[in-house]
Structure 1
Amino acid sequence: MPSSPNRVREMLSRYLLPHRGLVRSLVFLLLASNGLQLLTPRILRTFVDTARSDSPLDEVTYVGLLFLGVSIVHQVLAIGARYVSEKLAWTATNQLREDLAMHCLRLDMSFHNKRTPGEMIERVDGDVGHLANFFSQFMVRVLGSILLLIGVLVLLYTIDWRIGAAMSVYALVTLFGLAVLRNTAVPAWKQAREANAGLFGFLEEHLSGTEDIRANGGQANSMNLLYHHAASDCARNGRRA
């Protein structure tokens, strides 16, 4: 069985490579946005130094307008990156939904007999929806933050290598801590998704059989089961958080 990194690499290559244009656009927007974000403080420093040095008013105004223009362009690029990442995420995961649905249709009836329609819907659509959110958030926040961190460290090294070295050590320690937390959070996340699937499966099954439940006087038992599923879902989601 392939390792987890290999599975992730295979999934990314299968569902993202067909959309190379969007990927290139997203990379460009992220690089440009982060570059302007790094440039903004330097322009602000120039503005303050110019204002304090009794420079002509026209020069101060020019630097101020430059700062304002760069800030506006940065916001436009950030919005564009978010739009492209969302489009890429949903385009890729829609294909994943189709493949997953086709895979489920090809499974034996013994598999479907063990699972309710609500659970299947939550697994095929809900889990993939979370994956789409992961793609969009990962592209904009995680990848963008990594690029921004590298840029900040480079700038710090150009200012003072001692500050850059100290911040590099701090960044490495933080990344190590995040990796440790990830190993702890993944099992809890899996349990939370299983609890959500069970809850939605229960709701679908009992809502579709409301008349039969009332006819047989099973309201109290259904409510007890609902409380049990809801408590399990809350406990596992709380553990995930």
Structure 2
Amino acid sequence: MAFNSYKKDENTVTAGKAATLSRLFSYLLSYKKQIVGVLFIMGFCVMVNLLNPLIMEAAVDDYISAGNFPGLLRLILFAVVINLLMVAGIKIRMYVMAKVCNSILVTIRQELYVHIQTLDFQFFDSRPTGKILARIIGDINSLKDVLSNCVTTLIPDFITISAVAVIMFVKDVRLAAAALVSLPLMAAGIWYIQTHSHERWQIHRKKSSNLNAFVHEDLSGIRIIQSFGAEEETMDTFRDLTKQHRDSFVNAVRLNDAVGPVIDLCWAIGLFSLYFVGLVVLGPGRVSVGTFLAFG
């Protein structure tokens, strides 16, 4: 009989995030050509994101205010072309990363399956089969999401934010400081949410593992359950486990979904600070409409 039953959460050892990510990203070394292509596309997309506010500023201050509509049309055409190329690049980047991540997923599953064959009997006797399946299937799918999101979202967003901040300070230090005044608040809020959200998702993974273990044991031993007339007791246990699974998910998502409101609040604070400094502190007419649009 398994020592760690479906009624008991597993005791997991948390490895260092840096070591885990380093080991995970080492699998990308087998796909150097694809990664180089993705990085090239990523650089182009970041450049377009940086150009868009500058194009908007030039359109308002240099073309609309001067009545240069032919020049404005050429600028709009240029903006449309580079943004269409960016959209195409994003699609290609997502497709390439999906293929790479799925290939890495197959490699990890094969390595894990080979490793499981080398484990002793105590490993299998100490936990239900359903919990082992939950680790093999569910956790590895999570690794795929980490790989894909880091390369396609986290890294380009970080580069874009850093580059935008540099450009803003080069153009006007006072407006840049006003627009980014809420950045420490946003960083603190996201750090708090990420830290506590990780703990809640860990709890949800354990509840999911318990539910999978119960379902596996219940289906494999359904004849025994029916022989002893234990259907009602089994249903009560299933309801309890599904309730724990649902509650843990809702608890994790409730905190995780706070990221959006925190970002919106900080954006509103930064925008208010930008217009206050530009219109009240510096005075009307000191900052052009295009500059406001670019900084906002």
What TM-score results when the alignment is normalised by the length of structure 2? 0.73
Match of 2:286 in 1: none
Instruction: Mark the runs of 5 or more structure 2 residues left unpaired by the alignment.
Output: 1-12, 254-296
3-state SS of paired residue (2:119): coil
Match of 2:64 in 1: 51
State yes or no: 1:77 paired with 2:86. Answer: no
Number of aligned residues: 240
* 1:81 Cα offset (Å): 2.1
Counterpart of 2:149 (choices 137, 144, 166) is: 137
State yes or no: 1:174 paired with 2:186. Answer: yes
Counterpart of 2:122 (choices 83, 101, 110) is: 110
* Residues 239, 132 of structure 1: alpha-carbon distance in 2 compared, 3 angstrom cutoff: same
The one-letter amino acid of 1:91's match is S
1 CA distance for matches of 2:133 and 2:233? 24
Counterpart of 2:167 (choices 155, 172, 179) is: 155
Contact 2:25–2:147, Cα closer than 8 Å, also in 1: no
RMSD of aligned residue pairs (Cα, Å):
2.3
2 CA distance for matches of 1:82 and 1:105? 35
2 CA distance for matches of 1:218 and 1:3? 41
State yes or no: 1:227 paired with 2:239. Answer: yes
Report matched runs for 1:177-196 at 5 Å.
177-196=189-208
Contact 1:97–1:128, Cα closer than 8 Å, also in 2: yes
Counterpart of 1:218 (choices 195, 217, 230) is: 230
* 1:118 Cα offset (Å): 2.5
What TM-score results when the alignment is normalised by the length of structure 1? 0.88
Q: Deviations over 1:178-231 (max 9, x none)?
A: 233333222222221111111112112212333332232111111011012112
* 1:3 Cα offset (Å): 6.4
* Residues 127, 2 of structure 1: alpha-carbon distance in 2 compared, 3 angstrom cutoff: closer
Counterpart of 1:99 (choices 104, 111, 131) is: 111
Task: Choose 4-13 or 215-224, whichever is displaced more.
Answer: 4-13
Percentage identity across paired residues of the two chains: 20
* 1:169 Cα offset (Å): 5.3
Contact 2:109–2:140, Cα closer than 8 Å, also in 1: yes
Match of 2:215 in 1: 203
Counterpart of 1:87 (choices 89, 99, 120) is: 99
* 1:236 Cα offset (Å): 2.1
Contact 1:157–1:165, Cα closer than 8 Å, also in 2: yes
Higher relative contact order (CA 8 A, sep 6+): 2
Q: Deviations over 1:31-60 (max 9, x none)?
A: 1111111112222333334133122x4323
Counterpart of 1:25 (choices 22, 34, 37) is: 37
* Residues 34, 10 of structure 1: alpha-carbon distance in 2 compared, 3 angstrom cutoff: closer
1 CA distance for matches of 2:149 and 2:38? 12
